[in-house]
Amino acid sequence: MHQTDGSIAVLDFGGQYSHLICRRVRGLGVYAALFPFDTPYETLKTMGVAGVILSGGPASVYDESSPHPDGALLRGSLPLLGICYGYQLIVQAHGGEVQRASRREYGKSSVRILDRSGLFEGLSQEKISCWMSHSDSATKLPEGMSVLGVSDNSPYAAVQSADGRQFGVQFHPEVAHTERGDAMLSNFVFNVCGAKKGWSMSNFLEETVSELSSSIEGRVLCAVSGGVDSSVASVLLNRAVGDRLQCVFIDTGLLREGEAAEVSKFLKEDLGVPVEFVDAADLFLRSLKGLSDPEEKRKVVGRVFADVFEHYARTNGPFSYLAQGTLYPDVIESGRSSAPASVIKTHHNVGGLPKDLSLRVVEPLKALYKDEVRSLGAILGLPARVLQRHPFPGPGLAVRIIGEVTPDKLRICRQANKVVEDVLLEDGVYNKVWQAFAYLGDDRVTGVLGDERKVGYQVTVKVVESQDAMTADWYRASHQMLEKISNRITNEVEGVVSVVYAISSKPPATIEPQ
Burial class (CB in 10 A: 0-12, 13-18, 19+), 411: middle
- State the pairing for strand pair 360-362/321-323: parallel
Using the minimum distance from each CB to ligand XMP, give the nearer residue, 107 or 508. Answer: 508
Residues 6+ apart with CB under 8 A from 293: none
Q: 3-state DSSP call for residue 199? A: coil
Q: Which of 14, 155, 317, 391 binds ligand XMP (CB under 6 A)?
A: 391
Residues 6+ apart with CB under 8 A from 67: 13, 14, 37, 38, 57, 59
Residue tagged active-site, from 22, 134, 172, 193: 172
Question: Cα–Cα distance between 485 and 7 in angstroms, integer?
Answer: 49
Residues 6+ apart with CB under 8 A from 360: 320, 321, 322, 342
Using the minimum distance from each CB to ligand XMP, give the nearer residue, 2 or 370. Answer: 370
DSSP for 406-466, please give it. -HHHHHHHHHHHHHHHHHHHHTT-GGGSSEEEEEEEEEEEEEEETTEEEEEEEEEEEEEE-
Question: Cα–Cα distance between 441 and 75 in angstroms, integer?
Answer: 61
| Binding span for ligand XMP by CB under 6 A among 40-48, 234-242, 453-461, 505-513 | 505-513
Using the minimum distance from each CB to ligand XMP, give the nearer residue, 441 or 456. Answer: 441
Using the minimum distance from each CB to ligand XMP, give the nearer residue, 189 or 511. Answer: 511
* 435 contributes a contact to ligand XMP by CB under 6 A: yes
| Binding span for ligand XMP by CB under 6 A among 25-33, 121-129, 136-144, 393-401 | 393-401
Task: Report the run of H or E that residue 110 belongs to, with start and end.
Answer: strand 97-113
Q: Which of 395, 421, 430, 440 binds ligand XMP (CB under 6 A)?
A: 395
Question: Cα–Cα distance between 281 and 62 in angstroms, integer?
Answer: 58
| Binding span for ligand XMP by CB under 6 A among 188-196, 258-266, 387-395, 423-431 | 387-395
Residue tagged active-site, from 22, 130, 174, 259: 174
Q: Which of 168, 394, 441, 456 binds ligand XMP (CB under 6 A)?
A: 394
Q: Which of 348, 385, 453, 454 binds ligand XMP (CB under 6 A)?
A: 348
CB of 433: closest distance to ligand XMP in angstroms? 11
- State the pairing for strand pair 146-151/127-140: unpaired
Residue 174 annotated as catalytic: yes
CB of 143: closest distance to ligand XMP in angstroms? 49
Question: Cα–Cα distance between 87 and 81 in angstroms, integer?
Answer: 7
3-state secondary structure 112-162: EECCCCHHHCCCCCCEEEEEEEEEEEEEECCCCCEEEEEECCCCCCEEECC
* 92 contributes a contact to ligand XMP by CB under 6 A: no
CB of 301: closest distance to ligand XMP in angstroms? 8
CB of 371: closest distance to ligand XMP in angstroms? 16
Using the minimum distance from each CB to ligand XMP, give the nearer residue, 478 or 510. Answer: 510
* 69 contributes a contact to ligand XMP by CB under 6 A: no
Query: Is the CB of residue 402 less than 8 Å from the CB of residue 442?
Result: yes
CB of 472: closest distance to ligand XMP in angstroms? 7
Residue 222 annotated as catalytic: no
Residues 450-479 that bind ligand XMP (CB under 6 A): 469
* 512 contributes a contact to ligand XMP by CB under 6 A: yes
Type of residue numbered 37: F
CB of 392: closest distance to ligand XMP in angstroms? 6
CB of 389: closest distance to ligand XMP in angstroms? 12
CB of 439: closest distance to ligand XMP in angstroms? 11
Q: Which of 393, 405, 409, 463 binds ligand XMP (CB under 6 A)?
A: 393
Q: How many residues form the binding site for ligand XMP (CB under 6 A)? A: 12
- Count the residues in the chain: 514
Using the minimum distance from each CB to ligand XMP, give the nearer residue, 322 or 398. Answer: 398
Question: Cα–Cα distance between 312 and 417 in angstroms, integer?
Answer: 30
* 421 contributes a contact to ligand XMP by CB under 6 A: no
Task: Report the run of H or E that residue 484 belongs to, with start and end.
Answer: helix 479-492
Residue 84 annotated as catalytic: yes
* Residues lying near ligand XMP in the complex (CB under 6 A): 348-349, 391, 393-395, 435, 469, 506, 510-512
Residues annotated catalytic, as ranges: 84, 172, 174
